Amino acid sequence: MPKRLDLLSGLYLHIPFCKQACSYCDFYFVTRQEFKEPFVNALIQEIESYEGTHYASNTFHTLYIGGGTPSLLAISSLQRIIDAIKRVFTLELREFTVELNPDDVSLSYLRDLSELGVNRISMGVQTFAEERLKFMHRAHSRSQAIQALEAMMQSPIRNYTVDLIYGQPGQSLEELYEDIQQLMIFNPPHISAYALTIEKNTRLAKQVDLGRVIPAVDDTVAEHMEALEERLFSHGLNRYEVSSFARPGKEALHNQLYWYHGNYLGFGPGAHSFWKPSSRSAVRWSNARNLTKYLEQAQQIREIGLERAEKMDHSALVEEYLWLSMRTASGLDREYLQNVYEYQLTERQETRLEQMVHHKWLRKEGACYRITSTGFSISDRLGLDLIS
- Residues at the interface with ligand SF4 (CB under 6 A): 18, 21-22, 25, 27, 29, 67-69, 101, 124
Nearer to ligand SF4, 104 or 229 (CB): 104
Provide, rounded to whole angstroms, the least separation between the CB of residue 268 and ligand SF4: 12
Classify 252 as helix, strand or coil. Answer: coil
The strand ranges marked E within 68-147 are 90-100, 120-126
d(CA 76, CA 55): 27
Provide, rounded to whole angstroms, the least separation between the CB of residue 166 and ligand SF4: 15
Nearer to ligand SF4, 62 or 122 (CB): 122
Environment class of residue 318 by beta-carbon count within 10 Å: exposed (0-12), middle (13-18) or buried (19+)?
buried
Instruction: Assess contact for 189 and 246: CB atoms under 8 A.
Output: yes
Nearer to ligand SF4, 62 or 69 (CB): 69
Nearer to ligand SF4, 18 or 152 (CB): 18
Nearer to ligand SF4, 18 or 362 (CB): 18
Amino acid at 257: L
Which residue in 26, 7, 382 sits closest to 202, CA to CA? 26
Nearer to ligand SF4, 10 or 68 (CB): 68
Provide, rounded to whole angstroms, the least separation between the CB of residue 191 and ligand SF4: 16
Provide, rounded to whole angstroms, the least separation between the CB of residue 17 and ligand SF4: 8
Nearer to ligand SF4, 15 or 318 (CB): 15
Residues 6+ apart with CB under 8 A from 182: 128, 146
User: H or E element: which one contains 86?
Assistant: helix 75-88
Instruction: Assess contact for 126 and 138: CB atoms under 8 A.
Output: yes
Instruction: Assess contact for 11 and 63: CB atoms under 8 A.
Output: yes
DSSP state of 49: T
Phi-psi group of 303: left, alpha or beta (phi > 0 → left; psi -120 to 50 → alpha; rest → beta): alpha
Provide, rounded to whole angstroms, the least separation between the CB of residue 309 and ligand SF4: 25
Provide, rounded to whole angstroms, the least separation between the CB of residue 256 and ligand SF4: 22
Provide, rounded to whole angstroms, the least separation between the CB of residue 76 and ligand SF4: 22
Rg (the chain; Cα; Å):
21
Provide, rounded to whole angstroms, the least separation between the CB of residue 203 and ligand SF4: 10
Classify 244 as helix, strand or coil. Answer: strand
DSSP state of 312: E
d(CA 85, CA 44): 8
Nearer to ligand SF4, 124 or 167 (CB): 124
